[in-house]
Amino acid sequence: MSERTTSPRQTAVLWAAALAVLAVAVGMQAFAGRLLRADLTITEARRQVLQCESQSSTWEPAQWQALQADLEQGLALTPTDPVKHDLLSQLHACHGTQLWGDEGLRRYYYGLARQHGDASLRLRPGHATTLTRLAVAIQASGGTQDEVDAVWADALQQGPHVQANHPALAYVVLSNWDGARPEMQAWVRSLLAQPLAGEGRWLLDMVQAMGMQDKLQ
């Protein structure tokens, strides 16, 4: 039986196919590598954002820019990831908080936080913590009271027992107490009525820090 041979043209086609497969494999490996680096960046970004939210660190402009660039690069790789939008929202909110005394800059950065919060909710509707942060961002960026009230109510409805969100929800109400709806004020009063060993303790501290004792007598 004679051996089967391939023509030069067939050989060229086979080589081209093999190279194409190799190029795809290399491309997928490179993309996977970028995803891995992006995931590592997200882990570090989450740590840094949490530091900022706890006010345990103050950053220089170059640090803000570097972390924002890293998160945006990660988002470009996985544009449907709501977590990256959440982290960018938190990052801009932190920046706005550190520049709180400058109303223009505060509104600008909280406006960016609002944009990413909205984007996150389009990808993951009804997420209580994202809604809570969005309520704060809308208020701090100069949104209308109706906008704040609607998102605040949605946040509470979606996560009524998510206690980690309660301080931010309470802050939104206390910071505009006279303009808050009666049901929002009633919710704050219900927390204050709890034993001081529970949520009543941190809320009482917040009320005192904001000088709101007389309004909540």
- Write down the pLDDT at residue 46: 81
> What is the value of pTM for the model shown?
0.79
- Write down the pLDDT at residue 183: 96
Structural domain boundaries in the chain? 34-51+63-144, 161-217
- Write down the pLDDT at residue 5: 53
H helical segments located in the chain = 8-53, 61-77, 82-98, 103-123, 128-140, 145-158, 166-174, 182-192, 199-209
Pick the CATH number of 34-51+63-144 from 3.40.50.720, 3.40.220.10, 1.25.40.10, 3.10.620.30: 1.25.40.10
Is 25's pLDDT higher than 70?
Answer: no
The string of pLDDT tens digits covering residues 128-154 is: 999 999 999 999 999 999 999 999 999
Please tell me which residue, 36 or 167, carries the higher pLDDT value: 167
Give me the mean pLDDT over the 109-123 stretch: 97
Q: How far apart are CA 137 and CA 143, in angstroms?
A: 8
Q: What are phi and psi of 154, to 5 degrees?
A: -65, -40
Which of 21-25, 80-84, 200-204 is predicted with the least confidence, judged by mean pLDDT? 21-25
Task: Give the distance from CA 28 to its chain's centroid.
Answer: 29
Please tell me which residue, 100 or 17, carries the higher pLDDT value: 100
- Write down the pLDDT at residue 18: 43
